[in-house]
A and B are shown apart, each in its own frame.
Chain A
Amino acid sequence: MEPIIKLVDFRRTYRNGSLEVHAVRGVTLDIAPGEFVAIMGASGSGKSTMMNTIGCLDRPSSGHYYLDDVDVGDLGRDELADLRNSKLGFVFQGFNLLPRTSALENVELPLLYCRPPMRAREQQERAMAALEMVGLADRADHYPNQLSGGQQQRVAIARALVNEPRVLLADEPTGNLDTHTSIEVMGVFQSLNAQGITIVMITHELDIANFCKRKVVMRDGLIRTDEPVLDRSLATEALEQLKEEQRAVHLA
């Protein structure tokens, strides 16, 4: 199958005064539609830089990045914005919801910027549908501070899905969550992936990476290993197991 994300000898160099920092030093990577990829690595390994480029927030210094057959390196600021709007959905570690703004309005946010503009009525319906997908339709009018961490992250996922993107990008989506909630969120990702949505996520927890289908490990700006996950965890089973463990702790 034609890859949706295609990096060819991708390099990214930052200039810090007279010092050149090579964050990514030549990565070639294909991600096909329907994949569920974890990108792992220590801080400074270049995984965030790579994620920024995949997310069209940044452009390669050299090499090529094709998103859905479009060479992102040639595009201007506005065109990048349009790509982010139409083909990508973002989930962040810190949720990044707008405060004092209802869950529904947060989910509507990307639709405000879609071209051609969408009618308010349709925006609301789409946002509501996205909230239903993550099981939060009944919390549509809640403000972020009235929601738990897991619920906030699910709102963020709904926001990422509302534009029906080609790829869902998640930057340490479980970094701020406890184990139980993390597994719940991974469960949401797994069921979305099962519906055919391509997901690329950064994590530095092996447990979390094991919920994905493919594991890419980076070090010093290069890919070290790139392998399929062999004994893949399933969120439903993991939750059962966690419950049993907790019961055991209570009994002891």
Chain B
Amino acid sequence: MLAILKTALRAIRRNILRSILTMLGIIVGIAAVIVGVSMGTGAKAEVDRQIASMGNNLLIIFSGNMSRGGVRGGFGMQPNLTERDYDTLRREVTGLAGISPEVRATVQVVAGNQNTSVGIWGVSADFADIRSWKFQSGENFTEADVRNAAKVCLMGKTTAASLFGEGIDPVGQTVSIQNSPVAVVGWLASKGANTFGQDQDDIIIMPYTSVMKRLSGDTKFRALNAAASGPEVISDVTNQITAILRQTHQITPDKEEDFSIRSQQEMSDFFNANNRVMTILIGAFAGISLVVGGIGIMNIMLVSVTERTREIGIRLAVGARARDVLRQFLIEAVVLSVVGGGLGILTGYWLAPLLTRFAGFPTLISSQSVLIAFSVSAMIGVVFGFFPALKAANLDPIDALRYE
């Protein structure tokens, strides 16, 4: 076995340039597999991170039905979720870790001589927990603040930076929102961009009562944010919410709902489905180049068998069986493709970070993909090396010895 491996390596070294050119097809193919799969897993990890930043076991109940086809004018165009819905759900749904209304307004905020236009979210005291907002300093507003429509707010990092300067703690400051003073009670820790690329830190969060009464004048919510107490109760909670809302909205069984519920899992599935398509596409291209590389190996092995007909004749004459010759050429093909595969993996390792640095693509090389790439390259050697090896093994010793 060792002797055969040695013979194979010698045969490959003898035509080193030809061998490298032959391997190039495999190198490119395997590198493409590594990079392609790393892009897929990298994108998935990024989506998972972003989705996780939205909260844990999150359910969002939107006004309006989004599951019907056609343009619906976006969610929340006609808010129809009421204070009564919110109270009922909070009271009656079991398995809820928290629930919060969501209203929004975009207003000009002034602090000293600085001002900025920012989206204000009106929510309940549960919201910070539901959406996993952490506090850099200060603390959340209270249930009492919500009841009293208090003039308090939480401020995101970007907003704070544009009003007070980079890194300056806004807690204890007062800002002016539509000419009424609002106290900053919490400074939110950064979350970065969301899946749509929006800066999640450019935000002011206030009790929903304050926003509705003092800023927007809305009487209904565009959405409700809820958190289930665990991943296993999400579907149960969803069913309860649906049943209750159908009842409070007086929707007969033959009618469609005027609200829709999205779970975090669905959102993550949606984005990952896109990534999967991309991964499959890249995988297909990589597969094609691997097949081309395999054909290259087959081609060069056929040339090699013809060139070495005499050698095969000698080996047969001194007593090599057909399977000895078959094994020799098969191992040679496998060595070619496996060395090519190894070089391809190295190339992929080198290329993937470059892609991240220069194209901003998240990449993550999994040991699984390396393992698969390696075994695929070995398989290519066996599959594409088999025909030439068989040809060598079936040579007639007399003809082979006489071959010029």
A, B assembled together: yes
Residues in A lying within 8 Å of B, measured CB to CB: 52, 55, 57-58, 77-78, 81-82, 84-86, 90, 92, 96, 98, 100-101, 109-110, 112-114, 120, 159, 163
Contact: A84 with B318, CB < 8 Å? Answer: yes
A109 to B398, CA, bound (A): 18
A98 to B3, CA, bound (A): 15
Beyond the given pairs A113-B324, A114-B319, 17 more chain A to chain B contacts, judged by CB atoms under 8 angstroms and listed by A's residue number, are A57-B316, A57-B398, A78-B323, A81-B316, A81-B321, A82-B319, A84-B317, A96-B314, A98-B311, A100-B10, A109-B314, A109-B315, A113-B318, A113-B320, A113-B321, A120-B3, A159-B318
Q: Which residues of chain B are within 8 angstroms of A96 by Cβ–Cβ distance?
A: 310, 313-314, 317, 401
Contact: A92 with B401, CB < 8 Å? Answer: yes
- Least distance between B320 CB and chain A CB atoms (Å): 5
Contact: A82 with B321, CB < 8 Å? Answer: yes
- Least distance between B78 CB and chain A CB atoms (Å): 84
A159 to B317, CA, bound (A): 12
- Least distance between A53 CB and chain B CB atoms (Å): 10
Q: Which residues of chain B are within 8 angstroms of A163 by Cβ–Cβ distance?
A: 319
Contact: A90 with B14, CB < 8 Å? Answer: no
Contact: A57 with B314, CB < 8 Å? Answer: no
Q: Is B17 positioned at the interface, with any CB of A under 8 Å from its CB? A: no
- Least distance between B85 CB and chain A CB atoms (Å): 82
Contact: A81 with B314, CB < 8 Å? Answer: no
Contact: B320 with A81, CB < 8 Å? Answer: yes
Contact: A109 with B322, CB < 8 Å? Answer: no
4 A-B pairs closest in CB distance: A85-B319, A110-B318, A113-B319, A81-B321
Q: Is B2 positioned at the interface, with any CB of A under 8 Å from its CB? A: yes
Q: Which residue of B lies closest to A99 (CB)?
A: B311
Number of A-B contacts (CB under 8 A): 59
Contact: B319 with A86, CB < 8 Å? Answer: yes
Contact: B319 with A81, CB < 8 Å? Answer: yes
Contact: A55 with B2, CB < 8 Å? Answer: no
Contact: A90 with B2, CB < 8 Å? Answer: no
Q: Which residue of A lies closest to B394 (CB)?
A: A77
- Chain B interface, >50% SS class: helix
Contact: A77 with B318, CB < 8 Å? Answer: no
Q: Is B342 positioned at the interface, with any CB of A under 8 Å from its CB? A: no
- Least distance between B290 CB and chain A CB atoms (Å): 32
- Least distance between B6 CB and chain A CB atoms (Å): 9
Instruction: Find residues 296-324 in chain B having any chain A CB closer than 8 Å to their own CB.
Output: 310-311, 313-324
Q: Is B192 positioned at the interface, with any CB of A under 8 Å from its CB? A: no
Contact: B322 with A78, CB < 8 Å? Answer: yes
Q: Which residues of chain A are within 8 angstroms of B138 by Cβ–Cβ distance?
A: none
A159 to B320, CA, bound (A): 14
Q: Which residues of chain A are within 8 angstroms of B398 by Cβ–Cβ distance?
A: 52, 57-58
Q: Which residues of chain A are within 8 angstroms of B79 by Cβ–Cβ distance?
A: none
- Least distance between A64 CB and chain B CB atoms (Å): 20
Q: Which residues of chain A are within 8 angstroms of B316 by Cβ–Cβ distance?
A: 57, 81
Q: Which residues of chain B are within 8 angstroms of A100 by Cβ–Cβ distance?
A: 10, 14
Q: Which residues of chain B are within 8 angstroms of A101 by Cβ–Cβ distance?
A: 10
Which of B3, B316, B318, B397 gathers most chain A CB within 10 Å?
B318
Q: Which residues of chain B are within 8 angstroms of A113 by Cβ–Cβ distance?
A: 315, 318-321, 324
A238 to B14, CA, bound (A): 43
A163 to B320, CA, bound (A): 13
Instruction: Find residues 302-351 in chain B having any chain A CB closer than 8 Å to their own CB.
Output: 310-311, 313-324
Q: Which residues of chain A are within 8 angstroms of B310 by Cβ–Cβ distance?
A: 96
Contact: A77 with B401, CB < 8 Å? Answer: no
Q: Which residues of chain B are within 8 angstroms of A109 by Cβ–Cβ distance?
A: 314-315, 318
Residue in A52, A58, A90 whose CB lies within 8 Å of B318: A90
Contact: A84 with B319, CB < 8 Å? Answer: yes
Q: Which residues of chain A are within 8 angstroms of B324 by Cβ–Cβ distance?
A: 112-113
- Least distance between A104 CB and chain B CB atoms (Å): 13
A101 to B6, CA, bound (A): 12
Q: Which residues of chain B are within 8 angstroms of A159 by Cβ–Cβ distance?
A: 318
Q: Which residues of chain A are within 8 angstroms of B320 by Cβ–Cβ distance?
A: 81, 85, 112-113
Residue in A52, A112, A114 whose CB lies within 8 Å of B3: A112
Q: Which residues of chain B are within 8 angstroms of A78 by Cβ–Cβ distance?
A: 321-323
Q: Which residues of chain B are within 8 angstroms of A98 by Cβ–Cβ distance?
A: 311, 314
A96 to B324, CA, bound (A): 19
Contact: B14 with A57, CB < 8 Å? Answer: no
Q: Which residues of chain A are within 8 angstroms of B3 by Cβ–Cβ distance?
A: 112, 120
A109 to B311, CA, bound (A): 11
Q: Which residues of chain A are within 8 angstroms of B397 by Cβ–Cβ distance?
A: 57
Give 10 CB contacts A-B under 8 Å: A58-B398, A81-B316, A81-B320, A84-B318, A85-B319, A90-B317, A90-B318, A113-B321, A113-B324, A120-B3
A96 to B308, CA, bound (A): 12
A52 to B10, CA, bound (A): 31
A216 to B321, CA, bound (A): 32
A82 to B321, CA, bound (A): 8
Q: Which residue of B lies closest to A101 (CB)?
A: B10
Residue in B2, B313, B317 whose CB lies within 8 Å of A120: B2
- Least distance between A79 CB and chain B CB atoms (Å): 9
